[in-house]
Amino acid sequence: MNMINNSNGNLKGDIKYLFSRYGTIKGRPNIWGAIRILLVKPGVQALIFYRFYRKLYRIRLRLLSEICCRINFFLNGAEIDPCAEIGSGCRIWHPSGVVIGRGVKIGKNVSIFSNVTLGGLGHSIFHHGEPGYPEIGDNVILYTNVTVLGPVKIGNNTAIGAHSLVLNSIPENCLAAGTPAKIIKRL
């Protein structure tokens, strides 16, 4: 499975996507369309705010980045840890209830819908598995209420159906769904 290098996730890539998607009318630039999306779409705001406090985290302003993370949660409903790595072009369509944990790595052009949880398995006397966080490939779609836990890899161009629990890796070019998630179709 070819996992991505997330060092390219940045505000410039997100804005480029925003203008390519919403910033043109009949092929001509329309800055007002992109500004409107910036002002009224909480998913876009959550990602842009994440990019800001991720920079703070990387220059070792950890407390300030954690405070900004809390503010982002209160404003937009998405809890995105400053340590998570998110590639450019990511879209959070409905940020309510979205949780992206500390060690999560997300590729480019990933679509995330409401109530998606990406995180570790936690510390428990009942859990004896390998610690770690999910890695999400490029062009993945995570539909509503998907939960991905532990050191799981989801391959490029894969879709995970609504209300699925992913505890094992899913290869590239698949549609998976269920609790636990199983491959339904290979594309």
Active site residues: 123
Please give the Cα distance from 4 to 47 (Å, whole number). 19
Q: 52-55 long-range contacts, Cβ below 8 Å, gap at least 24? A: 52/11, 53/82, 54/82, 54/84, 54/86
Q: 31-38 long-range contacts, Cβ below 8 Å, gap at least 24? A: none
CA angle 86, 89, 91 (to 5 degrees): 80
